[in-house]
Structure 1
Amino acid sequence: MSVLDLSAASATHISVVAGGYELGVGRTVPSVAAVLGLISVIAGGLALVRSRRPGTGRVRIIGALVLGPISAIVGGLHGANAAGGLGTGNGLAGAVFAVVLGLIGTILGALALARSRWTDRGAGSMPAS
């Protein structure tokens, strides 16, 4: 048995062992998009909680408003182009999660932005004691 035969046999064995668990482009892209969506939800939630304090949370608001739409668009595009249904290994479930998390993160970021603008306006109109 030559070295090429051994390497071919070991490569075949590896692909059989890891057959259903290989993380290819079909699963990686929506997984990354879902993680970006999750980050936007966390950033938007933290910004919304802290938006009552004037001048805080701008970076979180911007992060939620940038990462949320990116996650939703990438997840939507991947979901529209995925061949097969759920459980086929094409990343459709990850794409759906990416869209949902991206939309939630965008909404939380927009609410935090609106609340922070309202709080900044209200703080500026109060008379000084």
Structure 2
Amino acid sequence: MSLQHLAASTVDAYTLTGGRLVATTAAFVALAGAIAGGLALARRVGRRGTTGALVAGMIGTVVGGWVVATADGGPGSGSGVVGGYAALALGVLAVVLGGIAAARSSHPA
């Protein structure tokens, strides 16, 4: 296998593949959950913000994990690995922030 053959099998950096689309969408959902969790923790939104953070965080974590687990290659391959890891990290952050906000709201200080 030649070096040219390896270079030809990679996807252009700006090509939107199915894996990249799913991973990017999951990362944006998880980012929205992290923002909602931060606002819920700052007590700027109520129970809906806490629930939204937990749900969006779980969706981002599950879909991001699925993308990473089923990826055919590494970064630059078009399989969405980078977006999957971003969705995983932001999803975990959203769940943690939403969980802390939920714990604070159920136990008044």
TM-score interval, smaller chain: 0.7 to 0.9
Counterpart of 1:45, as a letter, is G
- Normalising by structure 2, we get a TM-score of 0.84
Q: Which of residues 20, 28, 32 is equivalent to 1:27? A: 20
The aligned residue for residue 110 of structure 1 is 99
Q: Which of residues 33, 55, 59 is equivalent to 1:70? A: 59
2:94 is the alignment partner of 1:93: no
The structure in which a higher percent of residues are helix is 1
- Normalising by structure 1, we get a TM-score of 0.72
Q: Please give the secondary structure, in 1, of the residue aligned with 2:107.
A: helix
Cα shift at 1:70 = 0.7
Cα deviation 1:46-79 (Å, max 9, x = unaligned): 000117xxxx511100100111011100000110
The aligned residue for residue 37 of structure 1 is 30
Q: Which of residues 70, 74, 79 is equivalent to 2:68? A: 79
The aligned residue for residue 7 of structure 2 is none
* Residues 101 and 63 (structure 1), Cα distance of their counterparts in 2 relative to 1, 3 Å cut: same
Cα shift at 1:107 = 0.5
Counterpart of 1:110, as a letter, is G
Cα shift at 1:105 = 0.1
Higher Rg of the two aligned structures:
1
Q: Please give the secondary structure, in 2, of the residue aligned with 1:39.
A: helix
Q: CA RMSD in A?
A: 1.4
The count of corresponding residues between Structure 1 and Structure 2 is: 98
Q: Please give the secondary structure, in 1, of the residue aligned with 2:77.
A: coil
Cα shift at 1:22 = 2.2
The unaligned stretches of length 5 or more in structure 1 are 1-18, 123-129
2:49 is the alignment partner of 1:60: yes
